[in-house]
């Protein structure tokens, strides 16, 4: 992965993912034993984070990952308002300028689909897509699959329920693509008709022999599931004038449909689609999942920068 742009989940194959998960584990172990050792890894390097959309986990876990490996981080947290984008500068021009400051990688989140790819087209500096509109969120899907692998010790033959806003969210799209790198997974889309997964992802799965079904009934969807991956209603991405009611909450009753061996995941932020009473259930893994983000991003940065 040396000096590669990270733009979409379909650029990864099974071998790369397994290597990345093993590297994540070894970084985690090293970090636990002697975290100062890691400070030497990328001491002379610099990361720029350029975020045009709100973020808590993605931006801060990238910054933390880089800092723990000795990198310096130069950052703008609200580029839509505070960068020259507000004056009409194109992303291409912005990147051509940032290049002059000699960063080793640039992490970008953008509100428009495809905009991060446009940035990558004008530079050799590795560009990492931290979420672009309704498109992709590849590094989130890396930490999502790592979390599944950590729990189930494999990523084959799983029944994975994807629920919530599958139409406007980008995390379930990228995760679907990564699940297709493994064998025998079955995806259950459990949502309301207005928020169903888009056809391009269904076609992607079909082409790769991944079976899937649309199952609107939560009890039926959850029965026998290995993983439930839930997402919030992306209100900020609904077309103007469109109002959709959030009617797909996971509560204790919904948890009773799930096997003991299942895990419940969520990219966060959670709004009201998982009640807080679920947090104490040992199957609720969303906070651990968020914690994994930093280690996975350390492994990713190391793979790109080494």
The residues assigned a catalytic role are 57-58, 87, 109, 137
- Is the CB of residue 237 less than 8 Å from the CB of residue 54? no
Q: Any idea which residue has 């839509």 for tokens?
A: 80
- Is the CB of residue 48 less than 8 Å from the CB of residue 107? yes
- Is the CB of residue 38 less than 8 Å from the CB of residue 65? no
Q: How many CB atoms lie within 10 A of CB 56?
A: 10
Q: Toward ligand NCD, which CB reaches closer, 159 or 232? A: 232
Which residue in the set 24, 76, 129, 140 belongs to the binding site for ligand NCD (CB under 6 A)?
140
Which residue in the set 5, 68, 110, 137 belongs to the binding site for ligand NCD (CB under 6 A)?
137
Determine if 131 is a binding residue for ligand NCD (CB under 6 A).
Answer: yes
In angstroms, give the least distance from the CB of 179 to ligand NCD.
17
Determine if 185 is a binding residue for ligand NCD (CB under 6 A).
Answer: no
- Is the CB of residue 7 less than 8 Å from the CB of residue 126? no
3-state SS, residue 176: helix
Determine if 57 is a binding residue for ligand NCD (CB under 6 A).
Answer: yes
* Sites for ligand NCD among residues 59-118 (CB under 6 A): none
Determine if 270 is a binding residue for ligand NCD (CB under 6 A).
Answer: no
Q: Any idea which residue has 């990713």 for tokens?
A: 300
185 φ, ψ (degrees, to nearest 5): -75, 145
Which residue in the set 28, 68, 151, 232 belongs to the binding site for ligand NCD (CB under 6 A)?
232
Determine if 170 is a binding residue for ligand NCD (CB under 6 A).
Answer: yes
Range in contact with ligand NCD (rule: CB under 6 A) among 71-79, 91-99, 164-172, 189-197 = 164-172
């Amino acid at each position: 992965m040396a000096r590669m742009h990270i733009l979409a989940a379909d650029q990864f194959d099974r071998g790369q993912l397994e290597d990345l998960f093993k590297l994540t584990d070894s970084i985690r172990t090293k970090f636990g034993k002697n975290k100062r050792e890691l400070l030497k890894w990328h001491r002379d390097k610099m990361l720029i984070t350029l975020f045009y959309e709100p973020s808590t986990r993605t931006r801060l876990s990238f910054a933390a990952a880089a800092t723990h490996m000795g990198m310096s981080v130069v950052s703008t947290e609200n580029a839509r308002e505070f960068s020259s984008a507000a004056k009409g500068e194109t992303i291409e021009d912005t990147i051509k300028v940032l290049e002059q400051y000699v960063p080793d990688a640039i992490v970008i989140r953008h509100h428009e689909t495809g905009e991060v790819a446009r940035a990558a087209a004008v530079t050799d500096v590795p560009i990492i897509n931290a979420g672009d509109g309704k498109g992709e969120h590849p590094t989130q899907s890396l930490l999502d699959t790592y979390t599944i692998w950590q729990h189930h010790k494999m990523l084959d033959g799983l029944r994975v329920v994807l629920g919530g806003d599958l139409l406007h969210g980008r995390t379930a799209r990228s995760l679907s693509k990564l699940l297709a790198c493994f064998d025998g997974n079955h995806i259950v889309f459990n949502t309301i008709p207005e928020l169903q997964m888009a056809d391009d992802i269904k076609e992607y799965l079909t082409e790769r022999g991944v079976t899937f079904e649309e199952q609107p009934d939560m009890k039926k969807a959850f029965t026998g599931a290995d993983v439930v991956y839930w997402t919030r209603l992306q209100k900020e991405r609904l077309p103007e004038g469109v109002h959709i009611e959030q009617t797909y909450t996971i509560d204790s009753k919904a948890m009773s449909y799930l096997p003991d061996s299942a895990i419940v995941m969520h990219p966060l932020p959670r709004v009201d689609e998982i009640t807080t009473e679920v947090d104490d259930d040992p199957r609720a893994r969303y906070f651990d999942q968020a914690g994994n983000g930093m280690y996975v991003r350390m492994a990713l940065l190391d793979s790109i920068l080494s």
